[in-house]
Amino acid sequence: MQPRRVVVTGLGALTPLGNSVESFWQGLASGVSGADFIKQFDASKFKTRFACELKDFDPANYLDKKEARKMDPFTQTAVIAADQAVSDAKVDRNSVDVDRVGVIWGTGVGGMINFSHELKEFYAGDGTPRFSPFLITRLILDIAAGHISMRHGFRGPNFSVVSACASATNAIIDAMYHIRWGKADMIITGGSENIINEPCVGGFNAMKALSERNDDPKTASRPFDLDRDGFVMGEGAGALVLESYEHAMARGAKIYVELAGGGATADAHHITAPHPEGLGAMNVMRTALNDAGMKPEDIDYINVHGTSTPLGDIAEVKAIQQVFGEAAYALNISSTKSMTGHLLGAAGAVESIAAIKSILEGLIPPTINHFTDDPQLDPKLNFTFNVAQQRKVRAAFSNTFGFGGHNASVIFKSFVP
């Protein structure tokens, strides 16, 4: 069979910059930092005492209290973002074949917040096992996809993808393949992560991955800056409705962009450090271009992984220069993690939405918090430092890389019937 075109017809987002796609985009376009001191627990004794938390977020504003109790925060945000995307796409379960509508979701860690709470309660007691009957179903990583499908009655392919910080992008790629090859007509996809708690902040501190710039949290995420000292943890969710072009046209859906292609590779190098020459990143971008049938000069913008770590930023830029050659100097490059922090398993979803909006709005969100050039980076590259830039964006990349050497990239392009 001929591969089917895959289009994006719905978007949803809960981010440290806002609890909707539009508020998220406005924050990006304005160069707003979502970082502040942690409010979810007392972090005063931690090496890092700040993060990019959700603001003014109460699940009771979105979910029935009884249903919300059954969910860890990573599932709550998944369900809410998916609700937004389904509503945005105007999906009516009575007018689609629910057996051919699926959910493929990404998360890196899953229900760590409730799991941590249950353990603290147990060890603070007398040793008598008193655990919630929802402990396991709050914890398991597949449960977000399950809740979304049950909420909307979607009975197509349903599973979760785990590849650390590449999880949401891998979920989007899997969803694309299911539609492209006729296994489904529509997939709700994306990712969620909510792990701003003691074990996760402490664990990332122990491995020296997080910024410790406690004197100035809002400028702590500094991708490509000489003085970057680690990433800033973020939380939230992003959701996309993908469907075949034919299915979208038949139901009269609005089409935002086309999902042109994607790629996935491994560094096969180290559990946390990237390949120093960006080999896996190089291979994944080439794979995505080949999958999309596109050339480097067809791309106008790369929303990079750009976590603000000393090694990772350098490796990714090396890979871009190898893949794009002279075309690299015509690109806009930016890291929206400078504003949202690193949403880990959800990063690929919210950053895909940023890439899509750049196409729709003709605007490149900036890499904020740039103060000092890094001499290891080519000054002729356009990192979109500090201020958004207007330009026509025909096609945009979104790169995500995860611990374990997982690499995933997707390409979105302007929709042409």
User: Catalytic residue positions?
Assistant: 165
**Which pair of structure tokens corresponds to residue 142?**
């597949």
Rounded distance, CA 401 to CA 344, Å? Answer: 9
Give the SS3 label for residue 119.
helix
CB 86 within 8 A of CB 10: yes
Q: Is 122 exposed, middle or buried (0-12, 13-18, 19+ CB in 10 A)?
A: middle
Q: Which residue has the tokens 């770590």?
A: 309
Q: Which residue has the tokens 């034919």?
A: 246
Q: In what order do the strands lie in the sheet with 186-193?
A: 158-161, 101-106, 186-193, 236-244, 6-14, 257-266, 406-414, 395-402, 301-303, 332-334
Closest-CA residue to 14 (of 79, 70, 69): 79
Q: Is 25 exposed, middle or buried (0-12, 13-18, 19+ CB in 10 A)?
A: buried
Bridge partners of residue 265, in order along the sequence: 407
CB within 8 Å of 378: residues ≥ 6 apart: 317, 321
